[in-house]
């Protein structure tokens, strides 16, 4: 499985006890958190490797406690601690036409009603207080906030995001 076929789910946390249990830290921006899971994809280097679960259970804090098959000690967990977890996009529920997942915006062309075509979205960053769209590549990259009030239309089939940006917002990138 390739990273492009998956969405970021979270990371492997610290061991829980000494018998191979692990804390799964689920990303707060994960588009979907399944109540049951048989396996996750672990990013090792640049490849995804499937790790099946013996047990997976969500907790009240929005994370999970799990045991990977074959893990019997905290040493087993420590070998994979902090590694990124991915799930196949095929697990995502189908959305209505006007709804979208943030990862679906990557590769869309941004068109402003006043300025015209701005460029292709290369990244959606949710690690800041405001979700940001990175358009184009360095050194000519443009960054705009993803604000519902700016969005006029998202056409997933045509890979187009039509926006009405406030005057001067594009000048902030200069």
pLDDT in tens, 92-140: 988 887 788 888 899 999 999 999 999 999 998 887 888 899 998 888 8
Any bridge partners for residue 65, and if so which? Answer: 23, 57
For residue 142, list its beta bridge partners: 135
- Whether the model clears a pTM of 0.95, i.e. scores above it, the answer is no
Burial 89-106 (b: 16+ CB within 10 A, else e): eeeeeeeeeeebebebbe
Burial label, 87 (beta-carbon count in 10 A; 0-12, 13-18, 19+) = buried
What are the structural domains of the chain? 3-91 (2.40.30.60), 102-173 (2.30.30.240)
Tokens 């997942």 belong to which residue? 101
How do strand 151-155 and strand 142-145 relate by DSSP bridges? Answer: unpaired
């Amino acid at each position: 499985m390739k990273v492009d076929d998956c969405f970021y789910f979270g990371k492997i946390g610290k061991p829980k006890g000494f018998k191979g249990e692990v804390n799964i830290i689920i990303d707060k921006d994960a588009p979907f958190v399944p109540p049951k899971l048989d396996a996750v994809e672990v990013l090792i280097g640049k490849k995804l490797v499937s790790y099946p679960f013996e047990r997976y259970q969500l907790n009240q804090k929005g994370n999970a406690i799990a045991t990977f098959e074959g893990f019997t000690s905290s040493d087993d967990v420590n070998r994979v601690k902090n590694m990124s977890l991915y799930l196949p996009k095929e697990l995502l529920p189908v959305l209505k036409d006007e709804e979208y997942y943030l990862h679906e915006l990557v590769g869309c062309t941004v068109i402003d009603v006043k300025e015209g075509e701005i460029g292709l979205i290369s990244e959606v960053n949710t690690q800041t207080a405001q979700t940001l769209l990175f358009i184009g590549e360095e050194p000519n990259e443009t960054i705009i906030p993803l604000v519902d009030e700016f969005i006029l239309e998202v056409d997933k089939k045509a890979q187009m995001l039509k926006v009405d940006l406030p005057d001067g917002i594009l000048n902030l990138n200069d």
